[in-house]
Structure 1
Amino acid sequence: MTVLNEPSKRASRMSARQRLILLLLLGSQFMLAVDFSILNVALPVIGTGLGFELAGLQWVATTFALAAAGFTLLFGRIADLFGRRRLFLAGMALLGLSSLAGGLATSPTMLLVARVAQGLATAIVTPAGLALLTTSFPEGPLRAKALGLNGALMSAGFTSGAILGGLLTELLSWRWAFFVNVPVALAVLVAAPLVLTESRPARRPKMDLPGAVTVTAGLLALVYGLTRAGEHGFADPVALGGLAAGAVLLVAFWFVERRAASPLVPVTILARSTVKWGNLAGLVAFATETSLVFLLTLYLQKVLGYSALATGLSFGVLGIGTVLGGVIAPRMLARTGTGRGMTVAFAVQAAATASLALLGAGSGWIWLLLVATFVGGVGNMVAIVAFMITATSGLPDSEQGLATGLATMTQQVGITMGIPIMSAVVTAAMGTVLQGVIVAILVNAALALAGVLIRTRASTS
Structure 2
Amino acid sequence: MTTPLAVSPAPTRPTAPAFALLGTVQIVLISGITVVSVALPAIQDELRLSGGDLALVSTAYGLAFSGLLLLGGRLADLYGRRQVFMLGLGLFGVSSAAAALAPGLALLLTARFAQGIGAALAAPSAMALLGVLFPDPHRRARATAVWGGLAGIGATGGMLLSGVFAEWASWRWAFGVPVIAAALAIVAAPRLLPADRPVRRARIDILGAALVTAGLSTLSYGLVESSYGPLIGGVVLLLTFMVVESRTAAPLVPPAFFAAPRRAVALAAIVLGSAGMATSLFFLSLHLQQVRGLSPLLTSAAFLPYGAVLIGTGAVAGRLLGRFGIRIVLTTGLIMAAAGLALVSRFDGALVAGLLVLPFGIGLTFAGATVAAVADVPDEQAGLAGGVVNTAMEIGPTLGLAVLVSLAAVQAGDTTSGYGFALGIAAVAFILIAPIAALLLRTPQ
CA drift at 1:16: 6.0
CA contact (8 A) 1:160 1:315 kept: no
Which residue is equivalent to 2:270? 282
Which deviates more, 312-321 or 150-159?
150-159
Cα distance change, pair 99–356 in 1 and its aligned pair in 2 (3 A) = closer
Report matched runs for 1:169-188 at 5 Å. 169-188=166-185
- The Cα shift of 1:46 comes to 1.6
2:5 is aligned to: none
Letter in 1 for 2:51: L
1:83 aligns with 2:65: no
What per-residue deviation string (whole Å, max 9, x for no partner) do you get for residues 150-192 of structure 1? 2333311211211111212222221111122222211111110
Q: Check 1:221–1:177 CA distance in 2 against 1; reply closer, same or farther (3 A cut).
A: same
- Candidates 193, 197, 207, aligned match of 1:196: 193
Partner of 2:373: 391
Which residue of structure 1 lines up, in the alignment, with residue 19 of structure 2?
22
What's the counterpart of residue 236 of structure 1?
none
- Secondary structure (helix, strand or coil) at the match of 1:45 reads helix
- Alpha carbons of 1:268 and 1:55: their partners in 2 closer, same or farther (altered >3 Å)? closer
Distance 1:200 1:344, change over 3 A: farther
TM-score by length of 2: 0.93
* Cα contact 2:163–2:299 (8 A) shared by 1: no
Match of 2:389 in 1: 407
Query: Given the alignment, which residue of 285, 295, 306 partners 2:283?
Result: 295
**Whole-angstrom distance in 1 between the partners of 2:197 and 2:427:** 41
Alignment correspondent of 2:331: 343
Contact 2:32 2:61 in 1 (8 A): no
Asked whether the 8 Å contact 1:69–1:413 carries over to 2, the reply is yes
Name the SS of the counterpart of 2:196 in structure 1.
coil
After superposition, the CA RMSD in angstroms is 1.8
Residue 441 of structure 2: aligned partner: 459
**In the aligned structure 2, how far is the partner of 1:385 from the partner of 1:97?**
31
TM-score w.r.t. the length of structure 1 is 0.90
Q: 1:352 is aligned with what amino acid?
A: G
* C-alpha contact 1:200 1:398 (8 A) present in aligned 2: no
1:199: how far off? Answer: 2.9
Q: Which runs of 5+ in 1 are unaligned?
A: 1-13, 230-238
Which stretch of structure 1 is more off in the superposition, 286-295 or 87-96?
286-295
- 2:433 aligned counterpart, secondary structure: helix
Matches within 5 A, 1:127-142: 127-138=124-135, 140-142=137-139
Mapping 1:415-430, distance limit 5 Å: 415-430=397-412
Q: Given that residues 85 and 199 in structure 1 are in contact (C-alpha distance below 8 angstroms), is that contact kept between their aligned partners in structure 2?
A: yes
Contact (CA 8 Å) 1:83, 1:200: kept in 2 or not? yes
Give me the whole-angstrom Cα distance separating, in 1, the residues matched to 2:50 and 2:284. Answer: 26
* Counterpart contact for 2:86–2:186, Cα < 8 Å: yes
Structure 2 residue identity aligned to 1:428: V
Of all paired residues, the percent bearing the same amino acid is 34
Matched, 1:259 2:238: no
Rounded to whole Å, the distance in 1 between the matches of 2:256 and 2:76 is 20
Question: Secondary structure of 1:358's partner?
Answer: coil
Deviations 1:361-403 (A, max 9, x none): xxxx2xx212212111011111101111011111121111111
Contact 2:218 / 2:230 at 8 angstroms: preserved in 1? yes
CA distance, structure 2, for counterparts of residue 80 and residue 407 of structure 1: 15
Counterparts of 1:39-438 in structure 2, within 5 Å, are 39-138=36-135, 140-229=137-226, 239-360=227-348, 365=349, 368-438=350-420
